[in-house]
Amino acid sequence: VIHLYAFVRGLRELDAGLESRPFGRVTAVVGREERDPLRHGLVVESLLGRADAVLPVRFGERFASEDDLAAAVAPRLEALEQQLDHVAGCVEVGVRVVPHHDSAEAPDGAAYMQARLREQRSLEFVHRALAAHARDSVRTSRDAGYLVARDEVPGFSAAVEQLLASHPALDVLCTGPWAPYSFGAAT
Amino acid sequence: MSVVERRSLADQLTLVDLVDRVLNKGVVVTGDVTLSVADVDLVYVGLRLLLASAATFEREREAA
């Protein structure tokens, strides 16, 4: 079984147990069967410092043979190339609402909805303020991801700190920098 | 809340974040997890059920 970790460009080195498979301008990083999602994540994160562009693959992409892998990648090469261009030199910073007064602990339905609404509004407010500091951004109902050039991370962090300092009631948590998981939409 | 408790809360949320990323985000080239070898795949299915995040659950409900 071949386990697919990520697509990369400008790969400089690989840990033992990992191999690269070039497909034109796109390189796939593969290994043998991987059953641990956490290890998958750690391998992907370790690639960040070892390649110019890293496009993480969701856990669970496994192939019976080299031919199967090539057949799955071939029709998506163009999209993968564009996505690698998009994330080159960038990391992802995650922002999520910390349920301080947890909606899950709400005594009744109305309190729950109000707590959820507060979380949503916090995230919307933060998202509007931070999107301007990122190359790209993705928002879901509970969290947001920001694509930030590696050397712009300190500036982005400063923007977050400034935002939190001027709005002490905000309950948000900044995580990362991560490999840019949110910027490789299903192709 | 003490500093240590805050710290451990942050660590937990970060771990949740990593698992959430690995299972719910990232490029998919096969369409879904390959379900070809029954004894192994039960492990995968179990993991995905256990760890599928509230966010995905909500997204799927919204889409449905």
Contact A156, A133 (CB under 8 A): yes
Average pLDDT over residues A16-40: 93
Q: Could you tell me which residue, A123 or A57, shows the higher pLDDT?
A: A57
- Binned at pLDDT 50, 70 and 90, residue A76 comes out as very high
Query: What end-to-end distance do the CA atoms of chain A give, in Å?
Result: 23
Residue A149 has pLDDT above 60, yes or no: yes
Which residues of B make CB contacts under 8 Å with A?
9-10, 13-14, 17-19, 21-30, 32-34, 36, 40, 43-44, 47-48, 51, 54-55, 58-59, 62
- Of A29-33, A57-61, B59-63, highest mean pLDDT: A29-33
Interface test with B, best of A32, A181, A182, A187 (most B CBs within 10 A): A181
- A27: Cβ–Cβ under 8 A, 6 or more apart, which residues? A7, A8, A9, A11, A20, A21
State the complex-level ipTM: 0.75
